[in-house]
Structure 1
Amino acid sequence: MSSEQPWYLTTAAPPGIVQMLLFGVRPTCLDGASLHGVWTPPHTGAHVFRPRVLRVDAELEDARTHPVRRKAGEVITLSEEAELVLHAPALRAWPGHDPVPDLALVLTHAAHCLPVEKAAVLFESGLQRRLLTRRGAEQILASLPQRIRRPLSRIRADAESGTETIVRWWMESRHFPVRPQVLFPDRRRRMDLLVGRSWVIECDSREFHDDPLSYDADRARDLYLASRGYRVTRLSWEQVFLRWKETQTMLLAILRRGEHLDRPRT
């Protein structure tokens, strides 16, 4: 495929990666994590990187790339319409011959690029799927600036979905009492999140819900918890990733009533 790299194009090549390689860039951050099998939240644009060079290819300029920058902790870009998000690591050469860099570099880029809760989604998915070890995660965190490393030190290995990570992270950042993966009273199953003493939040991880067996099992879980005196709220993928601000407002309204601090009413 390339005169510089020993790659051969096959039908198994992931969609989109070929165009990136033709541009002279490689996937990283959200796109690289997805290729490693990490669960990733929805995003626009393709996150790519390349070593520092003196010359910018005309083709790459035409692609309307922009480097990632941070200002007051927020990610800003040079162009809202850019198709590629160009990460700028301090590298003089490619880190290896593989068109997809190793997961440690991908997550390092993600930590610098993404809001902390979305970077946490990638780390926690990698840990939960055993694509990343706890020691490996700690080594990545140790290499980050303190302003990024400190909040990410809360990552866990038992989050079962990106929606669960986002909701838990939001509650923890506002100092609401929340515990993940608490055992049911029957001790055979686990709650996604237990808020206070009696409010259970179940987080759907699927964008589309077309499995009748899962639907039935979810409702059976909800009914069992309600019978034991718990309040149960089920949040969909869409509520967390497409309508998150609206969802936060409603969650806050419930939390401010303080009913989650009561014991389950059996």
Structure 2
Amino acid sequence: MVLVESLVTLLGGLAATHELYAKGIRRGQLRRLLADGRLIRVRQGWYALPLTAADALAAARVGGRLDCISALASWGCWTPERCGLHVAVDGHAIRLRHPDDHRRRLDPAAAVTVHWNDDQPGDRLVVPIERALRQMVQCQPVEFAVAVADSALSSTQGRRPLISHSIWRAIAATHRSAHLLLEVDPNSGSGTESVFRIRLLMRCGLRPRAQVKIRGVGRVDFVLGRRLVIEIDSETFHANPAQYHADRRRDSLLSARGYRVLRFTYQQVMDDWPLVESAVLGAVRRGDIR
């Protein structure tokens, strides 16, 4: 028998019934492959390998492949939470299905964003990264787009950048907010920090310095003016008591050196921006940046 795992991989991660038959796999053999767990039926007439990523299977079940934010997450980019599933679908596709059950029709409650006219080559499960980025800048808020681009351009942790600056400039040039999309910083400490930086620029006209090293303290997320330090806590901050106490010690050291410290959580930056903005502007009005 043809090694089905190699065959499905060569076909781009997803194989149609007629393709399996054309390679010598018979109906009875296909049933055994399914029973043995070597293949899974994604939707009528389409099969994938059991270790395929769940979001890619969901996109295939809908009738397309991962696109936009969902594709970029699969490429290893930072992406915001609660964006739902984004699926590239051919413009002539019909009978789109629910991402969790191919027997149900797709409905609005499924939290699926469909991007039509999927005419790009590549893997059957996910669109190429450049295509995903082009779709993302048209679909997502500017601050999210910059945060994703920051992570794609980053070379931290020994990883090569996923794209070049020239590619991002070409993508940004197609958008009406190109001047903001070009405010990328591959050295950003996290996606949340990127969102904070761009929102502060967009809505307040303030441009803090990022990843500033302060003697005796270490690197801080942002410095605004000369004396206002702004720290952004990660999603896991409250689950790490040791980090909590270490950060409070840093705050004390910064205060001893004449700095004023503002600290915001991921949830505040993402979900309660008016409070964050008013806190920063209040500090500016008090003269804490001098």
Cα 1:140–1:64 change in 2 (3 A) is farther
Match of 2:130 in 1: 104
Counterpart of 1:121 (choices 142, 147, 150) is 147
Offset at 1:23? 1.9
Displacement of 1:135 in angstroms is: 6.2
CA deviations on 1:134-174 (whole Å, 9 max, x unpaired) are: 96243133144141432211101111112211211122223
Aligned to 2:212: 182
Q: Which residue of 2 aligns with 1:43?
A: 82
Deviation at 1:199, TM superposition (A): 0.5
Structure 2: gaps (5+ residues): 1-13, 21-46, 99-103
CA distance in 2, matches of 1:198, 1:31: 39
What secondary structure does 2:16 align onto?
coil
Shift of 1:192: 0.4
Mapping for residues 17-36 of structure 1, pairs under 5 Å: 17-36=56-75
Q: Identify which of 138, 148, 167 aligns with 2:166.
A: 138
Which one-letter code corresponds to 1:41 in the other structure? P
* Aligned counterparts of 1:195 and 1:134: Cα–Cα separation in 2: 30
Equivalent residue number for residue 238 of structure 2: 209
Deviation at 1:208, TM superposition (A): 5.3
Q: 2:280: which partner in 1?
A: 251
Structure 2 residue aligned with 1:88: 116
- Give percent identity, aligned residues only: 28
Q: Structure 1 residues 58 and 24, CA, compared in 2 at 3 Å: closer, same or farther?
A: closer
Distance 1:250 1:82, change over 3 A: farther
Letter of the 1:159 partner, please give it: S
Amino acid at match of 2:167: Q
Instruction: Specify the alignment match of 1:57 in structure 2.
Output: 95
Corresponding residue number in structure 2 for 1:239? 268
- Residue of structure 2 equivalent to 1:3: 16
Q: Which has the higher helix share?
A: 2
Conservation of the 8 A alpha-carbon contact between 1:108 and 1:140:
no
Higher relative contact order at CA 8 Å, sep ≥6: structure 1 or structure 2? 1
**Superposition CA RMSD, Å:** 2.7
Q: Structure 1: how far apart are the matches of 2:58 and 2:169?
A: 31
Paired residue type of 2:211 = Q
Deviates more, 1:1-10 or 1:35-44: 1-10
Counterpart residue number, 2:10: none
CA contact (8 A) 1:125 1:160 kept: no
| TM-score, with structure 2 as normaliser | 0.73
CA distance in 2, matches of 1:161, 1:218: 17
Alpha-carbon spacing, 1:103–1:200, altered in 2? closer, same or farther (3 Å)? same
Q: What SS is found at the alignment partner of 1:259?
A: coil
| Corresponding residue of 1:73 | none
C-alpha spacing 1:146/1:30, structure 2 compared with 1 (3 Å): closer
Deviations 1:235-254 (A, max 9, x none): 11111112223322333232
Larger radius of gyration: 2
Letter in 2 for 1:52: G
Q: Aligned AA for 2:168?
A: I
TM-score of the superposed pair, with normalisation by structure 1: 0.79
1:13-33 CA-partner distances (Å, limit 9, x unpaired) = 323321220221111222112
How many residue pairs get aligned? The number is 241
State the Cα distance separating 1:83 from its structure 2 match: 1.9
Runs (4+) of structure 1 exceeding 4 A deviation are 4-7, 129-132
Farther off after superposition, 212-221 or 191-200: 212-221
CA contact (8 A) 2:230 2:262 kept: yes
C-alpha distance 23-135 of structure 1, shift in aligned 2 (>3 A)? closer
Work out the CA distance in 2 between the residues paired with 1:58 and 1:15.
18
CA contact (8 A) 2:210 2:222 kept: yes
**SS of alignment partner, residue 251 of structure 2:** helix
Q: Distance in 2 between matches of 1:197 and 1:95?
A: 50
